[in-house]
Structure 1
């Protein structure tokens, strides 16, 4: 059960990306293209890696519900490895209540960033270390979906897939 909770907390939404990246059609496509150019601003990869790190840091013990509340959009959605869904409220409540899963440390690597105007997709591998014996360590391939809304970047979706056994451990994600 705790493993499922850990995976549930770790995972979020490709479908949200599709919804947020779709733009209503305007009759004047030239105006729409011009508008998008004004809104879109390129950010470097380090900017998005810092956002990723902030999310992971806020998830580690003791947890930082205020940071999660700030970084997750109100319509945030996670598609979890067990096929369940969770949202921003679920994530904030889990941290505030200090409910399991207890994540002591999150180590991430293989981060790749792609920006599409006011949407960015971050993919990577993350290792969740728990102090609880029955949870141990879980390694996840993750996708974070970020959107620039009202002048700030917020995570709108997360999807994580737990890697089984030996596939979880590679040369780049050794124990630190």
Structure 2
């Protein structure tokens, strides 16, 4: 196998015979599509230039790749479906999305990623939520736990504007 890899920026719809070396920079929780019962999970992959691409797994592929594509690990990835995506369906910036399926070749390689993988977090106070309510952006908040035990879980929740809610009225 050749040691030549492409960078994320070099892969576009129609590109063939490519392999990109990436780090799994972010993993999102699986979700259900807005207009169908399809389950999907987004990942953000980063190359050594710092370029990122959204990669999406659907339905059974979420389970198939559960033991692979570990956060912070390096992989050689090729043979994904590369397509243009609209802003409505983007987890992050960028106009292409890779769809990872059973045809995708994923190979883990041992590599120290401390030089390119830097996590940054920006937290918002709960009191600041009203200023985001009419926007379509992701925000992260710190909230106190109602109870604590030995287990922990990440939970996604949605805030709904009271005008759209009929509970208690």
The answer to which structure has the higher strand fraction is 1
Higher Rg of the two aligned structures: 2
**TM bin (shorter chain):** under 0.3
Kindly indicate whether structure 1 or structure 2 has the higher relative contact order, using CA contacts under 8 Å at least 6 residues apart. 1
